[in-house]
Each structure stands twice: as structure tokens, then as C-alpha cells.
Amino acid sequence: MAIDEVVSILLLLAGAVFFFAGTLGLLRFPDIYTRLHALTKADNVGLGLMVAGLALQAESAAAVGKLMVIWLLVLLAGGSVAHLVAAAARRRGIVPWKR
């Protein structure tokens, strides 16, 4: 097995771990703000790792470019939507969780 395949598999696995952590946070964190935090942060990094892992296996530079565009779009949409959800929650008067 070539070295880039090993690195690719490791990156994909690391991405999966981040997705798992993000989902765990979404399910287990106490309020909407912390859940959003877990979801967007972990999933953005997880997707970045996945994209990096897949880019190593890509056939052409164009495919790598498309993967990068997908990641950037998800970053943009994810960040904006998280902001909108949090802003809507604040407008409704949901108080951030304190232990």
C-alpha cells in the first residue's frame, strides 16, 4: 500500500472521528448555542479532513478543485446558518446555558 493511500485513510478516519464528536455534541450538549458550536466546528473540520483525504485519491487537479469548492461552500453556508440560528434564538430570549 502506497504511503499516500495510508495518509488518505488516516485523514478520512480522523474526519469520521470529528463528525462523530460533532454528532455526539449535538445530541448531548445542554442548550442550542453549545449544540451549534459542536455541530459547526466539528463538522467543518471533519469535512475538511475528509476533503483532504479524498483529494489525495483524486484523479485530476480539477477534481481536487471541485472538492475544495465544496468544502468552502459548506464552510460558508454552515457558518452563516449557525449565526442565523443563534441570532434567532437570542431574539426569542433563549438564555445561554450556565452550569
Partner 1 sequence: MTLLPLIFDGVLGFTLLWLAWQLLGSPDLFRAIVLFIAFGLLMALIWVRLDAPDVALAEAAIGAGLTGALLLAALARLGPPSETASLDNQGDRASVAEGGGLPFRRWLVALHLVLACGLGYAVMSLPSAAPGLSDAVANSLALSGVSNPVTAVLLNFRAYDTLLEMGVLLLALLAVWSLGSTPDAPPDDQPVGGVLALLARLLTPLLLLVAGYLLWVGGRAPGGAFQAGSVLGAAGVLLVLAGWRLGRRFAQLPLRIMLVAGLVLFMAVGLFVMLVGGDFLTYPHASAGGLILLIEAAATLSIGMILAALFLGIRPDSRADQ
**Residue 84 makes contact with partner 1 by CB under 8 A:** yes
Stretch that binds partner 1, among 2-10, 27-35, 51-59, 78-86 (CB under 8 A): 78-86
State the residue for C-alpha cell 455541530. 39
Maximum Cα interatomic distance, the chain, rounded to a whole number of Å: 55
Q: Find the binder of partner 1 among 6, 7, 10, 76 (CB under 8 A).
A: 76
Q: For helices 32-57 and 3-28, give the axis angle rounded to 10 degrees.
A: 170
Q: In 3-state terms, what secondary structure has residue 93?
A: coil
Binding-site member from 83, 90, 94, 97 for partner 1 (CB under 8 A):
83
Binding segment toward partner 1, per CB under 8 A, in 6-14, 19-27, 51-59, 69-77: 69-77
